[in-house]
Structure 1
Amino acid sequence: MVDSAQPRVTVIIPHLNTPESLGRCLDSVTAQHLDRGRAQIIVVDNGSSVSLDAVKARYRGVVFAAEPRPGPGLARNHGIALAAAPVLAFIDADCRAAPGWLQAAVDAVEADPARAIIGGDIRIDFADAAHLTPIEAYEAVFGFRQQMYIEQKHFSVTANLAMARRVHAIVGDFAGIDTAEDLDWGQRAHRLGFAIHYLPSMRVYHPARPDSTALERKWQRHTRHDWNAHVAGGRPAWRWRARAAAMALSLPVEALKLFTSDRISGAANRLAGVGALARIRWFRATEMLRLMSAPTESGADFWNRSP
């Protein structure tokens, strides 16, 4: 990238306890090429219990900062406060940016800097695409449905998001750990009249969760966010119970999506995904009912604090 006094774009990466993944992420981000200008890269550590000294020594051109309060939204806010560029791009520390990711993000934002908010495609980073684990098959279809999130729910997952800094200043900071910060921020932007656009050429790869426990923790955190919103909205308990029942009974409809998706191939992979789908749908339904009798839990209870 060509150097200049002011960076053209700032890439912000929140990090927690995954230095090896962070290294792979930085490899992919520092390999990006812009047609002009340069990128500033900021990593904000969110209270890791493992050292980042080796990563810092390897990437001397990267800005490293620390945010002790738990939550990726707060880490992103810290990075934004340090950003020197008019365009902001966000990627998670366990993701890998595809070639052309940053150029696509910058071009899309610069085309309408006063309004543009861009969410890109997120694919699962398979270890072996011909022989998927059940969790890989499940997450390939259901893990990051970016186009649906953007077009129907008006938010983008923050693992692949870009905007002008001036737009962020209008919408405001990301929320803390007890809120689904990507959903909350996107819907605030939507209420202010901004439209989020889906850009498939702006692609990153995200690893599947390593095991069922990690996948369950993800859904515990998201279900807690949904429950908090349900309670804050004054909605009746029967409606939450109905949602739990619908979750448990949705397997046939959702399984059809696995068998018709172009994101995986092969009967064995699709069947493996159905098995994971059945387990996680039942888990989510029972977790929804459990939360009704555990109102004092926080999202921080399910946040990764171990390496």
Structure 2
Amino acid sequence: MQTHAIVGGRVVTESEIPGCPSPVEAFEAVFAFRFDKYIRKKGFTGSGNMAVRKNVFEDVGGFRRAVSEDVDWSHRALAKNYKIIYDPSVIVGHPARRNWQELRKKFERLSREGYLLIKDKPRGRLKWFIRSFAVLLSPFIHVLRVLAAPELPRLADRLAAARILFAIRTYRFFEMNRLLFTRRTS
């Protein structure tokens, strides 16, 4: 914090039974809380492992409700020319989602929040529709990450995570289009 105003760190998922993740926990071990990717490629840090100087937080303002508050906040910080850096030595643990219901609920919330951020922007709804198809097709690429995941040393866990990958991305495709084609999103 002495050299950077905003720092995002690494988040490690924790299974209920260490070394024996459920299929959803295995999926989360590979895909959840990729703060390195969020910061370097998407321009935001999650609030679960974020350190911010007080004066910077006050300048940017607080979190807004009903949107992806950490994405929104980070984008407002970047608009004010603050830089967000990733520091992998700043580590927190977070319980992985344990079952399908918890994972589904997470992606329903993220989809709703993401849709609210984009829907009123120019061509926002069209971009959302196109993105839904990218989500549907993404498991065919991301399955390679699962099968080579160092976070999952056992083949059985990798295969279970791959199954969840295909299932949740299919679910997200339908959820994204439900949001797009229904009037109410809250």
TM-score normalised by length of structure 1? 0.58
1:5-55 deviations in Å (ceiling 9; x for gaps) = xxxxxxxxxxxxxxxxxxxxxxxxxxxxxxxxxxxxxxxxxxxxxxxxxxx
State the match for 2:83 in structure 1: 195
Q: For residue 128 of structure 1, what is the aligned residue in structure 2?
A: 17
Query: Could you say what secondary structure the match of 1:287 adopts?
Result: helix
| CA displacement at 1:245 relative to structure 2 | 1.5
| Contact kept? 2:22, 2:99, Cα under 8 Å | no
Matched, 1:208 2:100: no
- Aligned AA for 1:253? I
- CA separation in 2, counterparts of 1:245 and 1:153? 19
Identity over aligned pairs, percent: 33
Match of 1:232 in 2: 120
Aligned to 2:130: 242
Higher-helix-fraction structure: 2
Q: Is the 8 A contact 2:22 2:98 kept in 1?
A: no
Match of 1:54 in 2: none
Report if aligned partners of 1:141, 1:261 keep a CA contact under 8 Å in 2: yes
1:247 partner letter: V
Query: How far apart are 1:201 and its partner, in Å?
Result: 1.4
Alpha-carbon distance, 1:190 to partner: 1.0
2:129–2:180 contact (8 Å) kept in structure 1: no
Post-superposition CA distance 1:105-135 (Å, at most 9, x none)? xxxx1x13xx520111001112334322111
Offset at 1:252?
1.4
What is the aligned-residue RMSD (CA, Å)?
Answer: 1.4
> In structure 2, the residue corresponding to 1:122 is in which secondary structure?
strand
**1:71 paired residue number:** none
Letter in 2 for 1:202: V
Pairs within 5 Å for 1:1-307:
109=1, 111-112=2-3, 115-176=4-65, 178-235=66-123, 237-298=125-186
Q: State how far apart, in whole Å, the 1-side matches of 2:98 and 2:127 are.
A: 33
Question: Paired residues, what number?
Answer: 186
Report how far residue 264 of structure 1 moved: 2.1
Return 5+ residue gaps in structure 2 as ranges.
none
Runs of 4+ in 1 over 4 A off after TM superposition: none
Bigger Rg over Cα: 1
Residue identity opposite 2:134 in structure 1? A
Which letter does structure 2 place at the counterpart of 1:173?
G
Aligned equivalents of 1:285, 1:206: Cα separation in 2: 26
| C-alpha separation in 2, matches of 1:200 and 1:230 | 30
What's the CA shift for 1:296? 1.8
Deviations 1:242-275 (A, max 9, x none): 2212211111101111122222211111111001
**Distance in 2 separating the partners of 1:165 and 1:290:** 39
Instruction: Report the TM-score when normalising by structure 2.
Output: 0.94
Per the alignment, do residues 237 and 159 of structure 1 end up closer, same or farther by CA in structure 2, a change over 3 Å counting?
A: closer
Per the alignment, residue 9 of structure 1 pairs with none
- Assess if the C-alpha contact under 8 Å between 1:156 and 1:183 holds in 2: yes
